[in-house]
Amino acid sequence: MVNLQSIPSPPVHGEERAHEADRPTSLLAAFGADQPLKLDCGIDLSPFQIAYQTYGELNADRSNAILVCHALTGDQHVANVHPMTGKSGWWETMVGPGRPLDTDKYFIICSNVIGGCMGSTGPASTNPATGKVWGLDFPIITLPDMVRAQTMLIDRLGIDTLFCVVGGSMGGMQALQWTAAYPKRVFSTLAIACSTRHSAQNIAFHELGRQAVMADPEWHHGRYFEQGTHPHRGLGVARMAAHITYLSDAALHRKFGRRMQDRDLPTFSFDADFQVESYLRYQGSSFVERFDANSYLYLTRSMDYFDIAADHDGVLAQAFRGIQTRFCVVSFTSDWLFPTAESRALVHALNASSARVSFAEIETDRGHDAFLLDVPEFFDIARAFLQSAGKARGLT
Amino acid sequence: MSMQQQTLPLPGVVAPDTGHYRGDHLLVAEMVERGSKVLDVGCGEGDLLQLLETRGIDGRGIELSREGVNRCVAKGLAVVQGDADTDLINYPDDAFDYVILSQTLQATRQPRVVLENLLRIGRRAIVSFPNFGFWKMRIQLLVGGHMPRTENLPATWYDTPNIHFCTIKDFVQLCDEINVKMERAVALDMYGRPLRVNLPWWFWNMFGEQGVFLLSRAEKGK
């Protein structure tokens, strides 16, 4: 008989996930009816809330604040134990005392994006008008919407100009959107493994992920909370496909090759004979424990819509004209999701705007994920860029 | 040739506090006005940019090699990976006060186009290059019968990145041809010391190991 296995049900139940969405284990900034979030789709989102974490101390001049923007499936728990998974923060290699984003020197802020599922208002949150989970009634949000919400948080924290906006992947896109839309509020920008627009190939992969979620019968057109289910199979498959795009052929070969998982011979079944299969299944099943399926739909969509040049007659350089912000752009040689060519196009546009820009391509076989990993050359560059910008900013 | 009329006093090249900088870098740095905005094309590991920074000059760099770029960025310099032949086109007119091409012209595919781009992007350009008319080069070719190799240009003919060598005389001719004004010209001997300015022109071409030129656009129609 053929052995069939798919992604197991997550141990975390819907109620717990819903709890983290509405009452997160995080700092919380609530915005009432008087302060709606004006969304690009024309809707005023109100009331809404932003869940965030901070590390380090804001100095007296309020000049040492760094905003970290998280990637698609990241959250605000940059450098603390994650409240749902119990794992350490997603960027602890980068953020902490003595790290490139040095919490002894800088005040680090990271907020969950609007549309996320870790406490900022999103499709997993309760819609105050109905008392039910938003689901697909939640309006479509864009990357500029996320950034607009972050500006309201920064205002609330009493910070006028951010010393730096930092992010990788979707976080890097937010950093670029911040700089293009609010150039005077951003002293420096560190944009890693990202682009000013989402490519056709990336949109295609996102569509694959969304279709996998929607094909799961437990999705129930986004109303799975009321059914007491979660489309964990669909979301798991979406994560597996996406995870392949975060790696590289060389990295997969190095880590797994054709090695077998706890066996010497093929089982002549569809069991996870190969290590790489087992690894992907693990990635899929651990992801669905902490992430909301609808949130995945909304956030991937926001990336698809992102195109900074489109708002400037298709000319990217126009978006950064006369900009005073100092840029550091970093790409990785084996990143095929956001290849170096995308970063180079950004750098050319910044050069055309006479912006002060550093651009480094780091050699690694670890693919797009390299920005989350321990890559010393990248850390050296990030540290030096911030030190040099700090000198110009008068931080010592 | 108008070169010998460019008689500006040269500063002491090796000042005590700047002893660890290269002679040609110090000379180039002297040519740049304080507070100006500079692009260093082919900036290597950023030594010149660091020197300029100590003088309050806003410096940017382009470098072909990834290792060079990453070392520069790790020093906090604003440097991007790029190619003088293909990437200068992305910079707008008059973006910089000075564009520097230090020991790189001979490695470009189209030196003339590069030179024109330098003076489009910058109001002034500073170009330094090894003089292929240097006596040591001539002797190696004449007596040794092989392609010259020197301490500063140690590569063999088959693995050198330098594909467009020229002499000081050749360079001056190119400047005349593309209507570039030479504001200042200096030849450095094999020890990096400037040759006396009142020496005859052929002497420079024979005993200058490298040439350093401060260029500007010749005003059209005047």
Mutation pick from A164, A350, A354, A361 vs chain B, by most beta carbons of B within 10 Å, is A354
The pLDDT of residue A57:
97
Contact B80 A361 (CB under 8 A): no
DSSP A395: -
* pLDDT at B143 > cutoff 70: yes
- Given a cut of 70, whether residue A159 has pLDDT beyond it is yes
For A215-219, A249-253, B1-5, B199-203, which range has the lowest pLDDT when averaged over its residues? B1-5
Segments forming the whole domain that contains residue A216: 201-305
Which residues, numbered 126 to 185 in chain B, qualify as contacts with chain A under a Cβ-Cβ cut-off of 8 Å? none
Q: What is the pLDDT of residues A225-254, one digit of tens each?
A: 999 999 999 999 999 999 999 999 999 999
- d(CA B156, nearest CA chain A) in Å: 28
Q: Is the CB of B80 inside 8 Å of chain A's CB atoms?
A: yes
Residue of A351, A362, A377, A387 to mutate for B, most B C-beta atoms under 10 A: A351
What would the pLDDT profile of B149-182 be if each residue is shown by its tens digit?
988 889 999 999 999 999 999 999 999 999 999 9
Q: What is the pLDDT of residues A258-279, one digit of tens each?
A: 999 999 999 999 999 999 999 9
Task: Flag the least confident range among A149-163, A218-232, B7-21, B194-208.
Answer: B7-21
Q: Give the type of residue at A248.
A: S
Q: Which letter does DSSP use for residue A274 in this model?
A: B
Q: What percent of chain A is modeled with pLDDT above 70?
A: 95
Region B10-27 average pLDDT: 60
Give kind and range of the element (H or E) at residue A356: strand A356-362
Chain B residue with Cα closest to A389? B76
Q: A394, A59 in Cβ contact below 8 A?
A: no
Find chain B residues with C-beta within 8 A of A356's C-beta.
58, 60, 78
Q: What is the pLDDT of residues A277-315, one digit of tens each?
A: 999 999 999 999 999 999 999 999 999 999 999 989 999
**Any chain A CB within 8 A of the CB of B35?**
no
A390 in a structural domain: no
Q: Which domains does chain B have, with CATH numbers?
A: 21-131+165-217 (3.40.50.150)
User: How many whole angstroms separate alpha carbon B218 and alpha carbon B222?
Assistant: 9
CB atoms A357 and B78 under 8 Å: yes
Distance from A359 to chain B by nearest Cα, in Å? Answer: 4
pLDDT value, residue B190 = 85
Residue B16 has pLDDT above 50, yes or no: no
Number of residues assigned to chain A: 396
Provide the shortest C-alpha distance from residue B24 to chain A (in Å): 25
Q: Is residue A346 part of a domain?
A: no
Catalytic residue, chosen from A145, A292, A335, A369, is: A335
Task: Return d(Cα A307, Cα A310) in angstroms, integer.
Answer: 6
pLDDT at residue A16, as a whole number: 67
Is A128 part of a structural domain of the chain? Answer: no
Q: How far apart are CA A333 and CA A193, in angstroms?
A: 10
Count of the separate structural domains present in chain A: 1
Confidence band, pLDDT 50/70/90 cuts, at residue A14 = low
Burial of B46 (0-12, 13-18, 19+ CB in 10 A): buried
pLDDT of residue B193: 86
Report the residue of A188, A324, A359, A362 to disrupt the B interface, i.e. the one with the largest count of B CBs within 10 Å: A359
Question: What pLDDT is stored for residue B219 in this prediction?
Answer: 76
pLDDT digits (tens, 9 = 90+) for A57-116: 999 999 999 999 999 999 999 999 999 999 999 999 999 999 999 999 999 999 999 999
Q: Do A328 and B66 touch (CB under 8 A)?
A: no
CA B48 from centre of chain: 11
**Inter-chain CB proximity A358 and B79 less than 8 Å:** yes
Interface ipTM above 0.85: no
Q: Which of chain B's residues have a Cβ under 8 Å away from the Cβ of A348? A: 87, 90
pLDDT-based confidence at residue A202 (cuts at 50, 70, 90): very high
Q: What CATH code is carried by the domain that includes residue A257?
A: 1.10.1740.110
Chain A CB contacts of B79 below 8 Å: 358-359
Residue A360 token pair:
């480094």
Distance from CA of B78 to the nearest CA of A (A): 4
A211 versus B56: the higher-pLDDT residue is A211
Q: Is residue A94 part of a domain?
A: no
Asked if residue A279 is part of any domain, the answer here is yes
Confidence class of residue A12 from pLDDT cuts 50, 70 and 90?
A: low
Give the pLDDT confidence of B177-200 residue by residue, as tens digits. 999 999 999 999 888 888 887 888
